[in-house]
Amino acid sequence: MTDSRYVVPTGRGYLGTHAVSTGRTVTLSTAVLGDRDWTDRARVHAIAHADGVALVPAAESTEPIAAYVLCTRHDAARIAVGSAAVAELGLEPGDSVRVYDLAVIDDRPGLLLVDAADDPCLEADGDAGVDDERDAEADGERDAEADGERDAGAEP
């Protein structure tokens, strides 16, 4: 199977990819926040996670890297993830961050931010291995046919 420039490999719970701004922040919008019950002015904490940085409700954390407040701008909820969390990921302006639903990853409320260039959440394509299985079956059929030809031409 040929890789497509239109398909970006992701993992379970993938919500989107965002760029780090020149101010070393990442703004997450309503599309990423989805139907979370985070309300305007809700506080979230950025905490260290084995795969990156997690944004969790403030009540879920006691030792945050940073605290952020959900705000509404132009009728849409947003969280501007600041430079402390971006630095924790080791990212520079222009780098990409992938965002995942933490509930899918760890069964906890929140979001998971990971370095898109080294995404630990990537999963194999849904049909990965299918072409390999087909190739193996075809090889087996060709081998069986070749054996049959040898048997048919062999002297008793």
Residue 5 covered by a domain? no
The SS3 call for residue 13 is coil
Quick one: 92 and 149 in the same domain? no
Q: Is the entire prediction scored with pTM above 0.85?
A: no
Q: What pLDDT digit, counting tens, does each position of 96-120 carry? A: 999 999 999 989 989 999 999 988 8
Domain count for the chain, please give it: 2
Asked if residue 102 and residue 27 are part of one domain, the reply reads: yes
In 3D space, the residue among 21, 13, 43 whose CA is nearest the CA of residue 112 turns out to be 13
Residues 102 and 35 in one domain: yes
pLDDT, tens only, 30-61: 777 777 777 666 788 999 999 999 999 998 88
Strands 43-49 and 66-69: antiparallel
Clarify whether residues 47 and 99 are in a common domain: yes
Contact, 79 vs 70, CB < 8 A? Answer: yes
The verdict on 151 and 109 lying in the same domain is no
The span from the first CA to the last CA of the chain, in angstroms, equals: 45
The tokens for 70 are 């959900």
